[in-house]
Amino acid sequence: MKTVEGGVCAAKGIWAAGVAAGVKYQDRKDMAVIYSEAPCVCAGTFTSNVVKAAPVLWDKEIVEKSPFAQAVIVNSGIANACTGKEGFACCQAEAEAAAKSLQIPENSVLIGSTGVIGMQMPIDRLQAGIAELAAKKEHSAEAAFAAAQAIMTTDTVDKQVAVSFEIYGRSVTMGGMCKGSGMIHPNMCTMLAFVTCDAAISKELLTKAVKESVADTFNMISVDGDTSTNDTFLFLANGMAGNPEITEEDEAYRTFKEALCFLNTAMAKKLAGDGEGATALVEVQVKGADTKEAARLLAKSVICSSLTKAAIFGHDANWGRILCALGYSGAAFEPEKVELFFESKSGRIQICKNGSAADYSEEEAGKILSDEEVTIVADMHMGTETATAWGCDLSCEYVKINADYRS
């Protein structure tokens, strides 16, 4: 497996575009399309929030009931959440417009929206934007970049990854783009993520791979503890690589899933590192847990701790906050066995040994915590299971951004 350029357009037969449709923002791209030349097997996971945006409800129905998918229409600026019947009717209108412009079935069109909750959508601008997207779509890295830009809200950078690998002797490519900066919390963070692939794989196995991969990647990140109404992860596989269809959990399936996990991990870290106001990407590694579920609970608890995140921002080795977060995670462990470490490119230091303070230098710890990527390692000494979670520090800038988000 190797990384390649091209984002969602890296795979064979995938086209994209991004345009400025004026949905809410002015003078910036705010609509994107992903289009496949061939019908796609599709799988997805969606927000765990009881309050679900109209596009989430639309996409769940397409993923579960439609024979295939062939395009995704995405807008930024307005979330189309808490918009009642009008919101779902807007999804219908978008699908109709895309079906007409792209010459594909209406029930093969998926929809994504992100932005302010509670605002109605300007359907006329969306329809005009879809026509422009269809006319401008290309199979190119530049088109993928334009699409990745168009789905951004408070993101500071576009987020794209692509890899190539071999299945049954055929070259296969998988590429993705995502957005998310705030309202990010485990069990689908506030994010939209789209992955395309030219592999042939059964819907059953694609669904299994997606669900298992998301559990260990996107569901293990947190920026601010808020779970969005719009979280959507969609995977489209068009089979144009020409490989024999993956129908069994054999070596080809394991290779496919490994590529997906690599892609999703890379995108999840990009989301966490670009958290609103963030100055550092924080990784929490839990080792020696007695069960996988306990490891996940422990890692999530630390990455969600506002006090821990604030301490990272202040470069303060306040390890008691980490031990406290482990303690209220819901996982059983023996505190007197716990060891804690900080790691970064500046070094590694143990800060807690057998549940008590280790003999460490505050100056050295502060230097490690000053780097742009910081790892917290918690060794529970209860078993052999591990889990990793990602997030960022909590800065003053986060409050400023979210105090004035709607303007």
We report the CATH number of the domain holding residue 387 as 3.10.20.340
What local confidence, expressed as pLDDT, does residue 275 receive?
66
User: Number of folded domains in the chain?
Assistant: 2
**pLDDT band, very low/low/confident/very high, at 405 (cuts 50, 70, 90):** low
Tell me what the pLDDT averaged over the chain comes to: 92
What local confidence, expressed as pLDDT, does residue 199 receive?
98
Residues 268, 287 share a domain? no
What lies within 8 Å, CB to CB, of 403 at 6+ separation is none
Of 164, 272, 174, nearest to 218 (Cα)?
A: 272
Please list, residue by residue across 239-263, b when 16 or more beta carbons sit within 10 angstroms of its beta carbon and e when fewer do. bbbebeebeeeeebbebbbebbbbb
- Residue 118 CA from chain centroid, whole number: 23
Residues 115, 56 share a domain? yes
Host H or E run for residue 143: helix 141-150
Residues 210, 124 share a domain? yes
pTM: 0.85
Residues 332, 316 share a domain? yes
Region 300-311: mean pLDDT is: 92
User: Which residues are catalytically annotated?
Assistant: 190
What local confidence, expressed as pLDDT, does residue 226 receive?
45
pLDDT tens readout for residues 320-338: 999 999 999 999 999 999 9
Res. 70: pLDDT tops 60: yes
What local confidence, expressed as pLDDT, does residue 227 receive?
53
Residues 302, 263 share a domain? no
Residues 99, 19 share a domain? yes
Range of the domain at 361: 281-403
Among residues 273, 293, 308, the one where a domain terminates is 273
Residues 290, 238 share a domain? no
Residues 236, 368 share a domain? no
Res. 277: pLDDT tops 80: no
Please give the residue that has the higher pLDDT: either 229 or 77: 77
CA angle, 213 as apex, 218 and 201 as ends, to 5°? 130
Q: What residue has token string 């302010």? A: 116
Of 267, 278, 298, 319, nearest to 388 (Cα)?
A: 298
Which is it for strands 281-289 and 373-379: parallel, antiparallel or unpaired? parallel
Of 115, 130, 149, nearest to 35 (Cα)?
A: 130
Residues 183, 114 share a domain? yes
Host H or E run for residue 266: helix 251-273
Region 212-218: mean pLDDT is: 91
What local confidence, expressed as pLDDT, does residue 221 receive?
85
Question: Are 259 and 165 spatial neighbours (Cβ–Cβ below 8 Å)?
Answer: yes
Question: Are 355 and 336 spatial neighbours (Cβ–Cβ below 8 Å)?
Answer: yes
Res. 183: pLDDT tops 80: no
